């Protein structure tokens, strides 16, 4: 990791730049795939699965037999671990349910708001170098709790044309209604337009590489909503001399191993801690099976020394990390004042991995600074808020003249007339 000492505020944007390609670099490819899937449907899906995943898949739909076989291939120990995570994630997301909000704004004017599930949702589950069955839990559980009728899961096939058994086991556990063996841009395009094999959905969820991120953004141009523009994973740790250097290093490496385009950042008021963490990273990385991937990410990452918690906090809010770990003598200062972060992990015994798997919070989070405006996936992500109103005779008499005056001032005579005709009848 590159060590930076006391950077000037004017240099923060440059220092905190993510190691990602610009949209222009990949938008052409994404547009090409989208147009072909829109035109040729499953034929184009098959073509691009062959091109990008190196496998020919004639039937994209996962069968009941494949699910049964997959369940038998997952160890009992892993099944139990997934069930523990399933329980905790369910508990946390069920707690997010809210009651109907109802109020009488004026005598005779009742307004209320109710949540309704999004009927058709698409879940994108990465399956390349790391089959993210944990993401199935994070997306399918709140979809099921919300009451989504159609939950369609897409995940890329391996070289044998199959989806990882743990993904299928977890999808079956979570009540996914349809599982499709397709990944990447073509999966997002299929969910956007619908094909013979892939249902069209109203909203697409899930993380992915930069191509998937741009594909999701393009889907919005065709009237399909997305959870957020979630791209390569990132983690920022703020730590001081009270932190355990080996723990900090392990957390930084846990995100670095996601991919070469992941980014991890350490911010500290202690040069001694930065030095200790750097040594721990060099030591721990040697034992990682994905050390080459982790090393590339570490090469893109930074340790930043600042002189105070106040400066550190300003820098962190400017960055807006996806994952934010706090290990300092002044944890409450950061907890109370953090404004831009996807998910926060507090103290030496709260590794980011806990949120990735089994603590209960959701790990589908805004990256690339989008935490400044986006929330991570939660129960409300799978619902819509619909407002209702009911006005009595007394109510329209109470607010009618205000509506008439406002409509007339805006030059909308028909709006005024819709009220006036009612008031005339009531006053006669």
**Domain residue extents for the chain:** 2-20+232-360, 23-229, 392-427
| Identical fold, 2-20+232-360 and 392-427 | no
Residues 290-345: pLDDT tens digits? 999 999 999 989 999 999 999 999 999 999 999 999 999 999 999 999 999 999 99
Residue 402 in marked binding region:
no
Residue 209 in marked binding region:
yes
What percentage of the chain exceeds 70 in pLDDT? 99
Residue 69 in marked binding region:
no
Do 354 and 332 form a contact (C-beta atoms < 8 A)?
no
Residues 189-220: pLDDT tens digits? 999 999 999 999 999 999 888 899 899 999 99
Q: Which residues contact 342 (CB under 8 A, 6 or more apart)?
A: 321, 322, 323, 324, 365, 366, 367, 371, 376
Residue 356 in marked binding region:
yes
23 pLDDT exceeds 90?
no
Cite the active site residues.
322-323
Classify domain 23-229 at the CATH topology level. Rossmann fold (3.40.50)
Q: How far is CA 134 from CA 84, 131, 141, in A?
A: 12, 9, 11
Token pair 């990256």 is found at 367
CATH of domain 2-20+232-360: 3.40.50.1980
**Domain at 392-427, CATH from 1.10.260.40, 3.40.1670.10, 1.20.5.1300, 1.10.600.10:** 1.20.5.1300
pTM: 0.93
**Could you count the other beta carbons within 10 Å of the beta carbon of residue 69?**
13
């Amino acid at each position: 990791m590159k060590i930076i000492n006391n950077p000037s505020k004017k240099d923060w944007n440059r220092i905190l730049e993510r190691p990602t390609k610009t949209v222009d670099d990949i938008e052409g490819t994404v547009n090409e795939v989208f147009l072909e899937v829109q035109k040729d449907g499953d034929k184009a899906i098959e073509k691009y699965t062959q091109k990008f995943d190196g496998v020919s898949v004639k039937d994209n739909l996962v069968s009941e037999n494949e699910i049964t076989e997959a369940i038998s291939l997952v160890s009992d120990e892993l099944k139990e671990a997934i069930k523990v995570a399933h329980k905790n994630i369910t508990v946390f997301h069920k707690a997010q349910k809210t009651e109907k909000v109802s109020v009488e704004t004026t005598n005779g004017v009742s307004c209320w708001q109710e949540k309704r599930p999004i009927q058709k949702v698409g879940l994108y589950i990465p399956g390349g170098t790391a089959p993210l069955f944990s993401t199935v839990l994070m997306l399918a559980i709140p979809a099921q709790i919300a009451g989504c009728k159609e939950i369609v899961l897409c995940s890329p096939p391996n070289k044998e044309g199959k989806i990882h058994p743990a993904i299928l086991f977890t999808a079956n556990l979570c009540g996914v209604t349809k599982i499709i063996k397709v990944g990447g841009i073509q999966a997002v395009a299929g969910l956007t337009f619908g094909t013979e094999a892939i249902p069209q959905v109203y909203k697409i969820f899930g993380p992915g590489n930069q191509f998937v991120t741009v594909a999701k953004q393009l889907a919005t141009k065709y009237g399909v909503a997305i959870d957020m523009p979630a791209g390569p994973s990132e983690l920022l740790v703020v730590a001081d001399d009270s932190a355990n250097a080996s723990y900090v290093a392990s957390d930084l490496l846990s995100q670095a191993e996601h991919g070469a385009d992941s980014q991890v950042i350490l911010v500290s008021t202690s040069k001694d801690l930065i030095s200790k963490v750097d040594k721990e990273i060099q030591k721990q990385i040697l034992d990682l099976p994905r050390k080459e991937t982790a090393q590339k990410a570490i090469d893109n990452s930074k340790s930043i020394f600042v002189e105070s918690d106040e400066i550190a906090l300003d820098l962190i809010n400017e960055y807006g990390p996806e994952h934010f770990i706090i290990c300092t003598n002044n944890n409450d200062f950061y907890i109370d004042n953090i404004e831009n972060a996807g998910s926060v992990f507090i103290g030496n015994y709260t590794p980011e991995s806990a949120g990735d798997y089994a603590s209960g919070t959701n790990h589908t989070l805004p990256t690339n600074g989008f935490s400044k405006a986006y929330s991570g996936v939660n129960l409300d992500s799978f619902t819509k808020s619909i407002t209702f109103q009911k006005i009595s005779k007394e109510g329209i008499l109470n607010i009618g003249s205000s509506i008439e005056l406002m409509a007339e001032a805006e030059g909308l005579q028909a709006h005024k007339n819709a009220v006036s005709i009612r008031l005339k009848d009531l006053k006669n």
